[in-house]
Amino acid sequence: MFSRVKRWLWRLLTPTQIGILQRPSLLLTKPTIGQVNFGDLRRTTPIAAGWGLDRGHPVDRYYIENFLAANRQDIRGRVLEVESNRYTLRYGGDQVTQSEVLMPVAGHPGTTIVADLTSADHVPGDSFDCIILTQVLQNIYDYRAAIQTTKRLLRPGGVALITVAAMASLVYGEDGDFHDYWRWMRLALEKDFLAFFEAQKLKVEAWGNVLTVTAFLYGLGSGDLKREELDTNDPNCPLILTVRAVK
Protein backbone atom coordinates (compact mmCIF):
# COMPACT_ATOMS: atom_id res chain seq x y z
CA MET A 1 0.00 0.00 0.00
CA PHE A 2 2.76 2.41 1.03
CA SER A 3 4.80 1.67 -2.13
CA ARG A 4 1.74 2.31 -4.33
CA VAL A 5 1.25 5.72 -2.70
CA LYS A 6 4.96 6.40 -3.08
CA ARG A 7 4.92 5.54 -6.83
CA TRP A 8 1.89 7.74 -7.35
CA LEU A 9 3.50 10.61 -5.42
CA TRP A 10 6.77 10.26 -7.35
CA ARG A 11 4.91 10.83 -10.68
CA LEU A 12 3.57 14.15 -9.44
CA LEU A 13 6.91 15.52 -8.21
CA THR A 14 9.82 17.26 -9.95
CA PRO A 15 13.34 15.71 -9.65
CA THR A 16 14.31 18.42 -7.13
CA GLN A 17 11.32 17.63 -4.95
CA ILE A 18 12.13 13.90 -5.14
CA GLY A 19 15.73 14.70 -4.16
CA ILE A 20 14.52 16.51 -1.04
CA LEU A 21 12.26 13.59 -0.11
CA GLN A 22 15.13 11.16 -0.59
CA ARG A 23 17.18 12.71 2.19
CA PRO A 24 18.03 9.89 4.60
CA SER A 25 16.23 11.56 7.49
CA LEU A 26 12.85 11.32 5.76
CA LEU A 27 10.56 8.32 6.22
CA LEU A 28 9.82 8.07 2.51
CA THR A 29 13.33 6.79 1.70
CA LYS A 30 13.10 3.83 4.12
CA PRO A 31 12.92 0.64 2.04
CA THR A 32 9.82 -1.39 2.71
CA ILE A 33 10.14 -4.74 4.45
CA GLY A 34 11.89 -7.24 2.20
CA GLN A 35 13.09 -4.48 -0.17
CA VAL A 36 16.34 -3.55 1.58
CA ASN A 37 19.22 -3.68 -0.88
CA PHE A 38 21.94 -5.48 1.09
CA GLY A 39 24.19 -5.70 -1.96
CA ASP A 40 27.64 -7.09 -1.04
CA LEU A 41 26.55 -7.43 2.58
CA ARG A 42 23.93 -10.11 1.80
CA ARG A 43 26.05 -12.94 3.16
CA THR A 44 26.42 -14.71 6.48
CA THR A 45 30.20 -14.65 6.73
CA PRO A 46 32.59 -11.67 6.81
CA ILE A 47 33.87 -10.35 3.46
CA ALA A 48 37.44 -10.53 4.72
CA ALA A 49 39.23 -12.08 7.67
CA GLY A 50 41.78 -10.05 9.61
CA TRP A 51 39.87 -7.10 11.09
CA GLY A 52 40.46 -4.97 7.97
CA LEU A 53 44.26 -5.18 8.14
CA ASP A 54 44.38 -6.08 4.45
CA ARG A 55 41.96 -3.30 3.45
CA GLY A 56 43.79 -0.15 4.42
CA HIS A 57 43.52 -0.11 8.18
CA PRO A 58 41.19 -1.67 10.77
CA VAL A 59 38.18 0.57 11.34
CA ASP A 60 38.49 0.33 15.14
CA ARG A 61 42.11 1.56 14.94
CA TYR A 62 40.86 4.77 13.30
CA TYR A 63 39.11 5.67 16.56
CA ILE A 64 41.80 4.22 18.85
CA GLU A 65 44.56 6.20 17.16
CA ASN A 66 42.52 9.41 16.98
CA PHE A 67 41.92 9.09 20.73
CA LEU A 68 45.63 8.61 21.49
CA ALA A 69 46.60 11.47 19.17
CA ALA A 70 44.09 13.76 20.89
CA ASN A 71 45.58 12.86 24.30
CA ARG A 72 49.24 12.70 23.29
CA GLN A 73 50.15 15.27 25.95
CA ASP A 74 49.44 12.56 28.59
CA ILE A 75 51.92 10.11 27.07
CA ARG A 76 55.03 11.29 28.87
CA GLY A 77 57.55 10.32 31.57
CA ARG A 78 57.48 6.63 32.48
CA VAL A 79 54.91 4.95 30.25
CA LEU A 80 53.51 1.41 30.39
CA GLU A 81 51.86 -0.25 27.40
CA VAL A 82 50.72 -3.85 26.84
CA GLU A 83 52.21 -6.08 24.11
CA SER A 84 54.39 -3.43 22.43
CA ASN A 85 55.38 0.22 22.80
CA ARG A 86 54.23 1.26 19.35
CA TYR A 87 51.72 3.84 20.61
CA THR A 88 54.03 5.02 23.42
CA LEU A 89 56.67 5.92 20.84
CA ARG A 90 54.33 7.12 18.10
CA TYR A 91 52.33 9.52 20.24
CA GLY A 92 54.62 10.15 23.23
CA GLY A 93 57.84 10.70 21.25
CA ASP A 94 60.41 12.78 23.15
CA GLN A 95 58.08 13.26 26.11
CA VAL A 96 58.67 9.62 27.11
CA THR A 97 61.65 9.12 29.44
CA GLN A 98 61.14 5.40 30.06
CA SER A 99 59.03 2.96 28.08
CA GLU A 100 57.88 -0.34 29.59
CA VAL A 101 56.10 -3.17 27.81
CA LEU A 102 53.96 -5.50 29.94
CA MET A 103 52.87 -8.99 28.98
CA PRO A 104 51.13 -11.59 31.15
CA VAL A 105 53.49 -14.36 30.00
CA ALA A 106 57.25 -14.34 29.40
CA GLY A 107 58.81 -14.75 25.99
CA HIS A 108 57.18 -12.01 23.93
CA PRO A 109 59.82 -9.83 22.21
CA GLY A 110 60.22 -6.38 23.74
CA THR A 111 58.61 -7.30 27.07
CA THR A 112 60.18 -5.51 30.05
CA ILE A 113 57.61 -6.48 32.71
CA VAL A 114 55.93 -9.88 32.99
CA ALA A 115 52.76 -9.42 35.03
CA ASP A 116 49.09 -10.27 35.08
CA LEU A 117 47.21 -6.97 35.33
CA THR A 118 44.60 -8.52 37.61
CA SER A 119 47.18 -8.55 40.41
CA ALA A 120 50.76 -7.64 39.41
CA ASP A 121 51.70 -7.63 43.11
CA HIS A 122 55.44 -7.61 42.32
CA VAL A 123 55.14 -4.33 40.38
CA PRO A 124 55.41 -1.38 42.79
CA GLY A 125 52.50 1.06 42.97
CA ASP A 126 52.75 4.76 42.01
CA SER A 127 55.19 3.80 39.24
CA PHE A 128 53.88 5.22 35.95
CA ASP A 129 52.97 8.63 34.56
CA CYS A 130 50.89 7.03 31.84
CA ILE A 131 49.40 3.59 31.18
CA ILE A 132 48.14 2.78 27.67
CA LEU A 133 45.67 -0.11 27.53
CA THR A 134 44.32 -0.38 24.00
CA GLN A 135 41.98 -3.35 23.46
CA VAL A 136 43.32 -5.14 26.54
CA LEU A 137 40.48 -5.17 29.11
CA GLN A 138 38.19 -7.19 26.83
CA ASN A 139 40.79 -9.98 27.01
CA ILE A 140 40.85 -10.09 30.81
CA TYR A 141 38.05 -12.02 32.50
CA ASP A 142 38.40 -10.14 35.82
CA TYR A 143 38.76 -6.78 34.13
CA ARG A 144 37.65 -4.89 37.26
CA ALA A 145 40.73 -6.21 39.07
CA ALA A 146 42.80 -4.97 36.11
CA ILE A 147 41.25 -1.49 36.44
CA GLN A 148 42.14 -1.54 40.14
CA THR A 149 45.74 -2.54 39.36
CA THR A 150 45.97 0.19 36.71
CA LYS A 151 44.96 2.78 39.31
CA ARG A 152 47.49 1.36 41.80
CA LEU A 153 50.34 1.45 39.27
CA LEU A 154 49.71 5.07 38.25
CA ARG A 155 51.56 7.86 40.01
CA PRO A 156 49.32 10.52 41.56
CA GLY A 157 48.30 12.72 38.62
CA GLY A 158 49.20 9.93 36.18
CA VAL A 159 46.83 9.17 33.31
CA ALA A 160 45.39 5.91 31.99
CA LEU A 161 44.38 5.96 28.31
CA ILE A 162 42.14 2.98 27.66
CA THR A 163 40.10 1.68 24.75
CA VAL A 164 37.68 -1.26 24.69
CA ALA A 165 35.42 -2.85 22.11
CA ALA A 166 31.79 -1.76 22.36
CA MET A 167 28.96 -3.55 20.66
CA ALA A 168 30.87 -5.33 17.97
CA SER A 169 34.15 -6.94 17.22
CA LEU A 170 35.46 -10.00 15.49
CA VAL A 171 36.42 -13.14 17.32
CA TYR A 172 38.01 -15.63 14.95
CA GLY A 173 39.29 -17.95 17.64
CA GLU A 174 41.10 -18.24 20.89
CA ASP A 175 44.63 -19.43 21.26
CA GLY A 176 47.57 -18.94 23.63
CA ASP A 177 47.03 -15.87 25.77
CA PHE A 178 44.36 -14.39 23.50
CA HIS A 179 40.97 -14.76 25.15
CA ASP A 180 38.15 -12.49 24.11
CA TYR A 181 35.59 -12.04 26.92
CA TRP A 182 33.81 -8.68 27.01
CA ARG A 183 31.98 -5.87 25.19
CA TRP A 184 30.71 -2.79 27.03
CA MET A 185 27.89 -0.29 26.91
CA ARG A 186 29.17 3.21 27.72
CA LEU A 187 27.17 3.48 30.95
CA ALA A 188 28.51 0.18 32.29
CA LEU A 189 32.11 1.10 31.51
CA GLU A 190 31.68 4.44 33.24
CA LYS A 191 30.33 2.71 36.36
CA ASP A 192 33.22 0.22 36.29
CA PHE A 193 35.73 3.08 36.32
CA LEU A 194 33.80 5.21 38.84
CA ALA A 195 34.41 2.40 41.35
CA PHE A 196 38.11 3.36 41.27
CA PHE A 197 38.45 6.89 39.82
CA GLU A 198 36.82 10.18 40.81
CA ALA A 199 34.08 11.38 38.45
CA GLN A 200 35.76 14.72 37.70
CA LYS A 201 38.95 12.88 36.70
CA LEU A 202 37.20 10.49 34.35
CA LYS A 203 36.04 10.84 30.74
CA VAL A 204 34.34 7.98 28.92
CA GLU A 205 33.43 8.49 25.25
CA ALA A 206 31.82 6.47 22.47
CA TRP A 207 32.98 6.41 18.83
CA GLY A 208 31.53 5.04 15.62
CA ASN A 209 28.12 4.43 14.10
CA VAL A 210 26.02 1.65 12.59
CA LEU A 211 27.97 1.79 9.32
CA THR A 212 31.43 1.56 10.89
CA VAL A 213 30.25 -1.20 13.27
CA THR A 214 28.85 -3.11 10.28
CA ALA A 215 32.00 -2.57 8.21
CA PHE A 216 34.15 -3.85 11.08
CA LEU A 217 31.97 -6.95 11.51
CA TYR A 218 32.35 -7.73 7.82
CA GLY A 219 36.12 -7.46 8.10
CA LEU A 220 36.25 -4.30 5.99
CA GLY A 221 38.87 -1.61 6.55
CA SER A 222 38.86 2.15 6.90
CA GLY A 223 39.75 2.26 3.17
CA ASP A 224 36.25 0.97 2.44
CA LEU A 225 34.66 3.99 4.15
CA LYS A 226 34.56 7.71 3.55
CA ARG A 227 36.13 10.09 6.04
CA GLU A 228 32.77 11.68 6.88
CA GLU A 229 31.32 8.22 7.53
CA LEU A 230 34.13 7.37 9.94
CA ASP A 231 33.79 10.75 11.65
CA THR A 232 30.06 10.42 12.36
CA ASN A 233 29.49 9.37 15.95
CA ASP A 234 26.20 7.85 17.02
CA PRO A 235 26.26 7.35 20.80
CA ASN A 236 23.61 4.64 20.37
CA CYS A 237 25.80 2.50 18.15
CA PRO A 238 29.51 2.82 18.98
CA LEU A 239 32.32 0.59 17.78
CA ILE A 240 34.86 1.72 20.35
CA LEU A 241 34.71 3.22 23.84
CA THR A 242 37.58 5.28 25.21
CA VAL A 243 38.48 6.15 28.77
CA ARG A 244 40.81 8.86 30.05
CA ALA A 245 41.25 8.40 33.78
CA VAL A 246 43.52 10.47 36.02
CA LYS A 247 44.71 9.17 39.41
Site residues (vs ligand SAM, CB under 6 A): 82-83, 103-104, 116-118, 134-136, 139-140, 177
Which CB, 134 or 209, lies closer to ligand SAM? 134
CB of 72 to ligand SAM, least distance (A): 16
Helices (H), the chain: 2-12, 15-21, 59-70, 86-87, 143-153, 186-194, 210-217, 227-230
Q: Is 194 helix (H, G, I), strand (E, B) or coil?
A: helix
Which CB, 162 or 230, lies closer to ligand SAM? 162
Which CB, 64 or 206, lies closer to ligand SAM? 64
Instruction: From residue 23, give the alpha-carbon distance in Å to each of 2, 56, 237.
Output: 18, 30, 21
Instruction: From residue 125, give the alpha-carbon distance in Å to each of 142, 149, 152, 158.
Output: 19, 8, 5, 12
Which CB, 104 or 208, lies closer to ligand SAM? 104
The DSSP letter of residue 244 is E
CB of 117 to ligand SAM, least distance (A): 4
CB of 183 to ligand SAM, least distance (A): 13
CB of 193 to ligand SAM, least distance (A): 17
